[in-house]
Amino acid sequence: MRAASVRLRRYALPLKQPWRAASATLVLRRGMLIGVADGEGRIGWGDCAPLPSSGESGHARAFAALERAAFFLRDIDPDAALARLDEVQSAEARWAVETALLDLTCRARKIALRRWRRGAAADDIAVNAALGPLDEDCLGRAEAAQEQAFVFGKIKVGLGAAAEEARLLRRLAERAGSLRLRLDANRAWSEREAREFFIAVADLPIDGVEEPLAHPTLAGLRRLQQEVPFAIAVDESLFELGADRIFSEGAAHRLVLKPARIGGFAATARLAERAAAVGMEVVITSVVDSAIGVGAAAQLAAAVGGAQAHGLATGAWLAEDVAPAPLLRAGRMSLPDGYGLGIAPCGDFAKG
């Protein structure tokens, strides 16, 4: 089997309402799909969606890397192309290329992508509700998530005054009392401020807090983790503190992995396996990605296994999408029955 053609499709998907985080406010999710076709009509798809915080220059670099990769993908065996992934000089583009090649390969082999590494991978995964920033509207989103039987809800904190956020969080917990709360501080606080916030919300049903420290150190994270009953989670600090040190020193109980930022399906799976081997919880997540990007990350989450809820239920924030969003029910995401990703772009995005 050889790749007969490669197609690229840019997209700009409007959100129903702004997605506010510490580094950027997202109103339009931009990315580029790559489709790798063989001579028998099969197409494998991947999604290159740079983080919103990367700005215009970051998007331009990732898209240029994907366009360069499209040249060496033409008329090459997918296995040979997978061996050349290091030539793709962008993590987001590399994730897209690898996903497209694996999707194509698994379609040809007639297996679901999640079973490429682990034959016993499940057909659905637990996910947390994406509740967005902690504002007045978040209360209604939390109630809706509770009604939809989500177990966990993830909330962006550290965007306002700590005392006001603690008050809103308490109101939210009263109105959606069965929902366990995952908080993402996006490096908002000093160690003292984080500790004070944790004390203010100590009686609330908190499942974990992601990236609490503005200037994270292993020692600071370890001190906080030793003082609280919930998981402290590391995300972007993985790149600064280093996986080896994080795994060996036990500074946090949870690792949050964005495959697009890490740069691939296999690389992310290896990190997840290493984290699990030292007893860390692993959560796969994305940033309001398209249905192709979310679908790929969900296949990866199923392949990794484990009981953790993943951060992939973001499709409801998009007013438009490139493909049908995965089915959600009672806090779980169903994975398609088909081969490879089991989904493909529709409408204008699918045209040759």
Helices 91-109 & 265-277, crossing angle to 10 degrees?
A: 100
| Residue 135 domain-assigned (yes or no) | yes
CATH number of the domain to which 161 belongs: 3.20.20.120
- Answer for the pair 322, 345: CB distance below 8 angstroms, yes or no: yes
* pLDDT score, position 299: 97
Q: Which of 59, 82, 115 is the last residue of a domain?
A: 115
* Residue 240 burial by Cβ neighbours in a 10 Å radius (0-12, 13-18, 19+): exposed
pLDDT score of 24 more than 80: no
CA gap 293, 144 in Å, rounded: 25
**At 291, is the secondary structure helix, strand, or coil?**
helix
Do residues 215 and 258 share a domain? yes
Closest CA to 284 of 26, 292, 293, 25: 293
Which one from 16, 110, 258, 351 is the annotated catalytic residue?
Answer: 258
105 contact partners, CB below 8 Å, separation of at least 6: 1, 44, 78, 79, 116, 340
343: in domain: no
In tens, the pLDDT along 165-184 reads 999 999 999 999 899 999 99
The CATH number linked to 29 is: 3.30.390.10
Cα–Cα–Cα angle for 288, 289, 291, rounded to 5 degrees: 120
Q: Are residues 195 and 273 in the same domain?
A: yes
What's the confidence (pLDDT) of residue 22?
Answer: 65
CA 128 to chain centre: 11
Residue 135 in this model has a pLDDT that exceeds 90: no
Residue carrying the six token digits 């989103």: 141
In this structure, the answer to whether residues 88 and 154 fall within a common structural domain is: no
Active-site hit among 110, 154, 156, 351: 156
- The answer to whether residues 79 and 171 belong to one domain is no
What is the predicted pLDDT for the residue at 245? 95
CA angle 161, 163, 167 (to 5 degrees): 115
pLDDT confidence tier of residue 348, bands split at 50, 70 and 90: confident
Determine the 3-state secondary structure of 217 from DSSP: coil
Q: Does one domain contain both 232 and 92?
A: no
Question: Looking at the structure, do residues 101 and 146 belong to the same domain, yes or no?
Answer: no
* pLDDT score for 310: 98
Please indicate, yes or no, whether the overall pTM of this predicted structure exceeds 0.85.
yes
The Cβ of residue 324 has, within 10 Å, a number of other Cβ atoms equal to: 14
Q: Is 16 a catalytic residue?
A: no
| Average pLDDT for the chain | 93
Of 115, 148, 180, the position where a domain reaches its end is 115
Q: Are residues 149 and 288 in the same domain?
A: yes
Q: Find out whether 137 and 171 touch, Cβ atoms under 8 Å.
A: no
Residue 352: predicted pLDDT: 57
Whether 351 is in a domain gets the answer: no
Q: Does the annotation mark 258 as catalytic? A: yes
- Predicted local distance difference test score (pLDDT) of residue 347: 81
Domain boundary among 89, 115, 141: 115
Is 84 in the same domain as 172?
Answer: no
User: Which domain covers residue 214, as residue numbers?
Assistant: 124-334
In a domain, 254, yes or no: yes
User: Do residues 96 and 28 both lie within one domain?
Assistant: yes
Residues 110 and 187 in one domain: no
Shared-domain flag, residues 129 and 267: yes
Asked if residue 344 is part of any domain, the answer here is no
For β-strands 180-184 and 152-156, DSSP reports them as parallel
Number of domains in the chain: 2
- My answer on whether 191 and 210 are in the same domain is yes
